[in-house]
Structures are given as structure tokens and as C-alpha cells.
Structure 1
Amino acid sequence: MTTHPDTHSRSPAALAVDDLVTPFHVDGLDVRGRVVRLGTTLDAVLAHHAYPPAVKRLLGEAVALTVLLGSTLKISGRFILQTRTDGPVDLLVVDFTAPQDVRAYARFDAERLAALVDAAPGGRPDSGALLGRGHLAMTIDQGLSVNRYQGVVALEGGGLEDAAHQYFTQSEQIPTRVRLAVAEELRSGAATSSWRAGGMMVQFLPTEGGRVRPVDLHPGDAPEGTELPEPAEDDAWLEARSLIGTLEDIELVDDDLSSERLLFRLFHDRGVRVFEAEKVVAKCSCSRERVTGVLASFSREERESLIEDGKITVTCEFCGRSYGFEATEVVGPEEPDAEATPG
């Protein structure tokens, strides 16, 4: 599968395996990247809520993007993708805990969503229309001993692919291309459908200095109508971008096409190396202990406001699991009246 002189060459694996992230490197183009294929893991993430198909499609894209980015963490930690927008789907949260656990949640306005779906060609609005305008935040949380890192980009009617490109241009200044695809799979005789997602991320990371031009910020004082010069792009990156541009959605979600065969289709002329694939699992990190810790961070007044019929019930938005507490467990015993307290 590779022409690299120090690597054993072999044919690409024919067997397609879901719920894996496959890292790769194309030496001839100085690019590296990852391919993610999600099947039962995506179904498990979506199963906790009765999302309409349009929301499932959008959340599937967000999960694929988060796994592509979060799986690059070399140490333990969390990668969190979150959108807040004015669209029918006003909130997306995807939480990836290294090395493999992912969970996700979407909030939407049912009436606005239905109106948008009815007006969209084929009843399938694009992700930009579903999101609307707002912002997307990507957060890396490596624990209490390390400061959080967060990058924020504006969402201005574009989709998650556009937002990812903007993030890498502004925050990382690494030439990057991302492709995402989600599909509903209808099987003959099956009572319910299943969902699949796929994604690919490619980044230009040459070993020679000077081949990646830093992005020039707009000067702000140029006369209106002035055309600013575009920096020349490296030929290798132009070739890589053109190859990624030929990638079709069906190739990313085809359960008969392995990730290795897909990479071979795109990059065999340049020699592509694949590395050990990494598993992805749908798993929520909530627990009674975690919920107790969150409640303990609230003021006594806030905790008291949560009491109903002598109990406090907390439901995880990600997995739907509920945790019940007696009021005395969380709030504590009733405080004595200050006026009745002996001197």
C-alpha cells in the first residue's frame, strides 16, 4: 500500500470495519490525516433522544468531526465541540474523552425545524441552514494541572466543514481540509433504520521550513475595493486539495469500502502509509459521584430550588440517565432559626 522505502508494502485491507479512526501519512505530498468510519457507535449516541432525521444528520457530522480532532490528543484528556447559534438547532455538544469515548447532545426548536425541512429541497436542509449564525468553540481539557485551551470561530450560515477550515486557518495556521458525510441506512425488512458517518481530515505539514506561508491578517485600512494579494500555495498541497475534492459522500459512508481502500484510491500514486487504527466507543462519563460533585458546587439556595416532593432528580442530557437524591443528601439538615438559637 505504500512506496516508502522504510515501510513494508502491502495491499489495502478489503474488509471494512466501523467505529475506527485510521491515521495516515502521504510522504509524496507532505500531508498527514485521519479517516473515521462510524456505525453502531453513532447509532448508540443517537439512540438516547428522539431526534428528527435532520438533527441526526447534523449531530452525526459533529460527532465525526469531534472524533477526527479529539483522537489526535496524545495524552489523556477531553476534546469538546460546542455550537451556540440562532438556528433551529441552537445547541450541539460533542464530548470526546481520550482515547476512545464519545457522547453527544443536540437541542432544537421542533416548530422552526419542521418549517425549515418543509421548505428545503427534498426535505433535507443543509447543516448551515440548521445551525444559522453564532459561534463554534473547540475546547481541550487536560485536567486541573493544565490550563484549558479553547478556540472559537464564527458560524455565519456555513456548515461544520467550513467552520473547521476557518478554525485551522485562524488558530493553527495549518493548511487543512475536512470532509464529512452522514447517511441513513434502510435495510429491507428492518423495523428501524441505522445511521452511518464518515470523515476525513488532511493537513499539510512539510518537513522543510518556509513551505507554509502564515496567513496575513487584513490590514483594516485598505481603500474599499482593494484586492489583497493571495499567498502562493505549495504545489503538493494544491494536489492534495484537488484529490480530496474528488471524494464523494458515498465513499465516506460505504460499508463495503474499507478506510484503507479509500485511501489507496486517493493517494496510491504518491504512496500512502496507514497506521494502527484506533477504536471509538459510545460511552457517557456521567455517574452518581460526578452529579453529586456538580450539585455540591451550587449554593444552598440553588440546591433548595431543585427540590420537588422532598427529592432532587438530575437527568444527564447526553445519555438520559436520571439520578435521584433525597433532599437531605444534597441540601443537608434544615438550618435552625437564628432567633431561636441560644446565646
Structure 2
Amino acid sequence: MTDSHLMGDDHILPFQAEGLDVRGRVVRLGPAIDTILRRHDYPAPVSRALGEATALTLMLGTTLKFDGRFILQTRTDGPVRMLVVDFQAPDRVRACATFDKDAVAEAIAAGKTSTIDLLGQGHLAMTIDQGPEMARYQGIVALEGESLEAAADQYFRQSEQIPTRVRLAVAENYVAGEGQSWRAGGMMIQFLPTSPERMRMADLPPGDAPEGAEILEQREHDLEDDSWVEAKLLMGTVEDHELTDPNVPAEELLYRLFHERGARVFESSPVVEKCRCSREAVTGMLRNFSQQDRRDMVADDGSIVVTCEFCNTRYAFDKAETEELVNA
């Protein structure tokens, strides 16, 4: 393991296990995710789901080689209707959740509080926005009672043909002198050998085969490269607390996993919780509505008030400003 300094909170650490032809990233979130989740005072299971989505977004978004945006969004039929995480390269992130309060309360009462239970079925979309002069790229994967980890693995399998494994964890820890605080962590590994033919993967399920058709069952590990099988087994030993514990540095975790094969870390990159909203942006957004829509937004006192869903910042336009907006 190279580099003598240890990565702190709110950083992403790229690494390479050369002996296994594996590259990956580790994300550790402290104050940034705590700020996002405390601001909204979500029920704990909703906070965990959004924390997982944020950790996943940062592991993927920080691979961008340009100053663009990476947006992760779920739309599902479960108690948590939508998760949105917006990463602005190189380091800004914001996130929010939309949920049915009664349905979440019922899920908690029934003990169904996992992210799988809360999301239900729908889809996960990942969008890369390189700016107004470039076309957006969007990848979509179905969510059918799967974890965000499994959905991410499936996304890379379908769209990139890169064998991938993702681990995510969120915890509310006690910090002496500071009380409870949210933490999140994640690890991603990808098998990238020099020889492409080594990137073997089992076929996707065949779907509804014709009656009488013979389907040959293949064990996934029989088709895969031995190095990738070993890397996945090592990844499977990672405990949730190891991904979130501030006393277990990311470098130490990587050493535990890959020291026999050799691991090399690269320069970590910081992330900060920071919203993109502003009074000017909100004004521009309002001007995009029709005049009738703007009239419908006017309160009894003649004002318009807009609250940012991400950061809860309240933008109030007094009567004079509202009249100007409505008549524009």
C-alpha cells in the first residue's frame, strides 16, 4: 500500500489491486451526509436509503473526467417514491427523498425497513450531463425487489459489460462530545484485465423460454476468471461497520482485503455538501412557467414562496416582486 497519509471523511479513494486486475473506489462520508440527512429530519430508514444512494452516486460520479453532472434517480412504487442525488463535478453533492409518510410509518411498524422494502419496484436512472451543448447520456436499470448494490452491478453488466461489485452501508453513530451523527460508506470493485476475453460473465436469464426448450444451467463461478472470483470473495468479507467506522481508515480496510495480492491507492478527492440553488436560479425557473401558472402560485398576501427540495432554503418574493414576475 502506498501513500503515508490516511484519507479522512468526505473523500473518495481510487485504488488498484494489480495482482487481481481489479480497480475500485472507496467512499467515506461523515459531515456531508450528516448535513444532508439532518436537514430534512427523515425517518431513519429513509435516511439510510438516501445515504446509500449518495455513496453510490459519488463512487460513480467522481469518475467523470469533465466538469459535468452525474444524477442518480429512482422512481418506484414503494413507500419511498423517489431518491435524487445530484453530483456536480468535481466535488459538490446534494440529495433529497420523496416518500409517503403513512406508508413509511406502516413499513416501520411491520419491520420492513430495508432499502429493498422501501423502494419496491420501478427503475433506477443514471444520467450524465456534460452541459447544454452536449447530449445527455442516461442508463436505466429495473428495480424489482433488488438492493441498490445489485442494481448497480446489473447496470454495469448490461451497459458496460464490466464485471462489477458494489457494497454500501449507512449508520447512525455516536461521537463523543457531538452526539449522534450519520455516516455512509461504500466500495466498488471492477474487473479490468488487459485481455478482454478474461472478462467472462454468465449469460443473463433467458426470460420465458418456449415450452419444451432445454435450458442449460451454468454456475457463474465456472465461467469467470479465477482472479475475479477471488476478488469477489474478498469483497464479500467486508462488514457494514468497516465501511462506516471512522476508526477504520479506508487504506487499512484495503490492506486487510488485498495485502496478499498487493494494493495501490491513488490521490483521494474531496466532496462537499453544497446545493446549486440561488435566488437568480429560482427566478429563472419561475419565468419558465406560463403566466397562468405563476398566478396560481400567488399566496393570499400577494407573495410567492419557493422552497428548495434539496437544501430547504426558502425564497420569498414580496408583493411587488411577485407582480413583476406574474406580468413578465
TM-score clears 0.5: yes
Tell me if the contact between 1:169 and 1:215 (Cα under 8 Å) persists in the aligned partners: no
Larger-Rg structure = 1
Q: Tell me, yes or no, if structure 1 residue 199 matches structure 2 residue 186.
A: yes
Tell me by how many angstroms 1:221 deviates. Answer: 4.7
2:127 matched residue in structure 1: 139
Where 2:187 maps in the other structure, the secondary structure is strand
How far apart are the structure 2 equivalents of 1:84 and 1:119?
Answer: 23
Tell me if the contact between 2:7 and 2:268 (Cα under 8 Å) persists in the aligned partners: no
How far apart are the structure 1 equivalents of 2:36 and 2:212?
Answer: 48
1:318 matched residue in structure 2: 310
Letter of the structure 2 residue corresponding to residue 243 of structure 1: L
2:171 matched residue in structure 1: 183
1:24 matched residue in structure 2: 15
Q: Tell me, yes or no, if structure 1 residue 128 matches structure 2 residue 116.
A: yes
Listed one character per residue, the Cα deviations across residues 81-118 of structure 1 (whole Å, up to 9, x for unaligned) are 11111111111111111111111101111221112112
Q: Tell me, yes or no, if structure 1 residue 327 matches structure 2 residue 318.
A: no
Alignment of 1:247-266 (within 5 A): 247-266=238-257
Tell me if the contact between 1:16 and 1:255 (Cα under 8 Å) persists in the aligned partners: no
How far apart are the structure 2 equivalents of 1:33 and 1:197?
Answer: 17
Mark the runs of 5 or more structure 1 residues left unpaired by the alignment.
2-8, 334-343
Letter of the structure 1 residue corresponding to residue 27 of structure 2: V
CA distance 1:96–1:312, change in 2 (3 Å): same
2:40 matched residue in structure 1: 49
Where 1:28 maps in the other structure, the secondary structure is helix
CA distance 1:112–1:265, change in 2 (3 Å): same
Letter of the structure 2 residue corresponding to residue 199 of structure 1: G
How far apart are the structure 2 equivalents of 1:329 and 1:99?
Answer: 37
Q: Tell me, yes or no, if structure 1 residue 213 matches structure 2 residue 200.
A: yes
**Which runs of at least 4 in structure 1 moved beyond 6 Å after TM superposition?**
none
Tell me by how many angstroms 1:187 deviates. Answer: 3.8
Q: How many residues align?
A: 320
Mark the runs of 5 or more structure 2 residues left unpaired by the alignment.
none
- Counterpart selection for 1:173 from 161, 166, 170: 161
How far apart are the structure 1 equivalents of 2:237 and 2:24?
Answer: 16
How far apart are the structure 1 equivalents of 2:191 and 2:214?
Answer: 29
CA distance 1:147–1:17, change in 2 (3 Å): same
Tell me by how many angstroms 1:17 deviates. Answer: 1.2
TM-score by length of 1: 0.88
Where 2:48 maps in the other structure, the secondary structure is helix
Moved more, 298-307 or 71-80: 298-307
Moved more, 272-281 or 216-225: 216-225
- Counterpart selection for 1:163 from 151, 175, 191: 151
Tell me by how many angstroms 1:283 deviates. Answer: 0.4
TM-score by length of 2: 0.92
Q: Tell me, yes or no, if structure 1 residue 267 matches structure 2 residue 262.
A: no
CA distance 1:318–1:224, change in 2 (3 Å): farther
Where 2:310 maps in the other structure, the secondary structure is coil
Where 2:277 maps in the other structure, the secondary structure is coil
Letter of the structure 2 residue corresponding to residue 138 of structure 1: M
Listed one character per residue, the Cα deviations across residues 142-177 of structure 1 (whole Å, up to 9, x for unaligned) are 101111011111111121111111111111111000
